[in-house]
Amino acid sequence: MVAASVAALRQTVGGWRRQGLRVALVPTMGALHEGHLSLMTLALERADRCVVSIFVNPTQFGPNEDLDKYPRQLARDLDLLAGAGVHLAFTPSPSEMYPEGFATTVRLGGPALGLETDFRPTFFDGVATVVAKLLLQTLPDCAIFGEKDYQQLCVIRQLARDLDIPVEIIGAPTIRDTSGLALSSRNAYLDAVQMVVARRLNAVLVEAAAALAGGDGPDSILVRAKRDLIGAGFRSVDYVEAREALALGPWRGGVEGRLLAAAWLGNTRLIDNVPIPARS
Ligand code: PAF
């Protein structure tokens, strides 16, 4: 089943709610891969009905980013959703989501500060605004987001808490290929040589996280991780940073942390993150 309007989405979900069914939402921008399908599997385990939104959200792209070339393959995505047992695809147009006169932006502090925001200053305003809309349009019992976009997951948890949106936000583990490369729609931009380099990203982070957990000096580990990424063939590194795992404040050991990174391969920007176990 497909709904292209908010009214049609609400009608279907409203019917389910009247039957007492539990509803899960999986927000996506389409170009679906195994990583997305794992979110849907989790949604179907946690709810009776699963809604997947497919919307390439223009407000989260900066002026020089890849909005125009972002992969769009709706017919293929709808086939995948049908095969995955998803009950409803919500496929709004930009004008359905942002009608003439739209003038509201949700802006967050806390976990939105630093990391991605230092390099994509309006990214989380766009994400928070569209996710707030999707949650309020669907009113699901739970919504699933991948840990691949770890800062985004923390931002969305904060958003739901701060705006009292009655939904359980569930984080799902990152799906990786056999080399450890996190699956991402943007991997489609990489050529064969770049794929080899991309596969080093996770290995460098895992090694650095182990060194951090072992108590070595964090500054030198982070410098070395950046140097290793450049040595592997990345064009530049936006950040490799250790943060406290829940609120993303500075990590000082003793608690669980997260090591997060963003790096460029040609014109493609890849992000990844790994846990830093608490030091015993
Ligand atoms: O992670 C994404 O695909 C997007 O940022 C999201 C959460 C669907 C909002 O557009």
Give the type of residue at 37: L
Residues 90-128 as b/e (b if ≥16 CB within 10 A, e otherwise) read bbbeeebbbeeeeeeebebeebbebbbbeebebbbbbbb
Q: Is 131 in the pocket of ligand 1 (CB under 6 A)?
A: yes
Q: Is 54 in the pocket of ligand 1 (CB under 6 A)?
A: no
Looking at residue 223, what is its pLDDT?
Answer: 98
Selected residue with higher pLDDT from 91 and 252: 91
Q: Tell me which of 29, 125, 147, 157 to substitute to probe ligand 1's pocket, judged by most ligand atoms within 8 Å of the beta carbon.
A: 29
Q: What are the residues whose beta carbons fall under 8 Å from the beta carbon of 107, sequence distance 6 or more?
A: 124, 125, 128
Looking at residue 278, what is its pLDDT?
Answer: 84
Q: Is 271 in the pocket of ligand 1 (CB under 6 A)?
A: no
**What average pLDDT does range 29-46 have in this prediction?**
97
Measure the CA–CA gap between 155 and 152, rounded to whole angstroms: 5
Q: What is the mean pLDDT of the chain?
A: 97
Integer CA distances (angstroms), 101 to 58, 86, 96, 104, 105, in order = 16, 33, 12, 9, 13
**Chain segment 55-94, per-residue pLDDT in tens:** 999 999 999 999 999 999 999 999 999 999 999 999 999 9
**What average pLDDT does range 98-122 have in this prediction?**
98
Integer CA distances (angstroms), 161 to 154, 164, 172, in order = 11, 5, 19
Q: What is the 231 CA–ligand 1 centroid distance (Å)?
A: 31
- Collapsing DSSP states into helix, strand and coil, what is residue 152? helix
0.95 exceeded by pTM: yes
* Residues identified as active-site: 36
Tokens of 80: 């995948």
Measure the CA–CA gap between 250 and 265, rounded to whole angstroms: 27
Rg (CA), the chain: 19
Examine the pLDDT at 222 and tell me if it is beyond 80: yes
Measure the CA–CA gap between 141 and 251, rounded to whole angstroms: 32
Examine the pLDDT at 34 and tell me if it is beyond 70: yes
Side-chain-side CA neighbours of 159 within 13 Å: the count stands at 27
Q: Whose CA is nearest to atom 5 of ligand 1?
A: 127
254 — pLDDT class (breaks 50, 70, 90):
confident
**Chain segment 138-168, per-residue pLDDT in tens:** 999 999 999 999 999 999 999 999 999 999 9
**Which ligand 1 atom sits nearest the alpha carbon of residue 55?**
10
Measure the CA–CA gap between 70 and 77, rounded to whole angstroms: 14
Looking at residue 216, what is its pLDDT?
Answer: 79
Q: Is 26 in the pocket of ligand 1 (CB under 6 A)?
A: no
Q: What is the 56 CA–ligand 1 centroid distance (Å)?
A: 8
Measure the CA–CA gap between 270 and 201, rounded to whole angstroms: 9
Residues 239-257 as b/e (b if ≥16 CB within 10 A, e otherwise) read bbbbbbbeebeebeeeeeb
Give the type of residue at 206: V
Examine the pLDDT at 280 and tell me if it is beyond 70: no
Opening angle at CA 214, ends 210 and 215, nearest 5: 125
Measure the CA–CA gap between 248 and 255, rounded to whole angstroms: 12
State phi, psi for 68 to the nearest 5 degrees: -70, -35
Closest CA to 151 of 117, 186, 185: 117
Q: Which residue, chain included where needed, has tokens 């739970």? A: 142
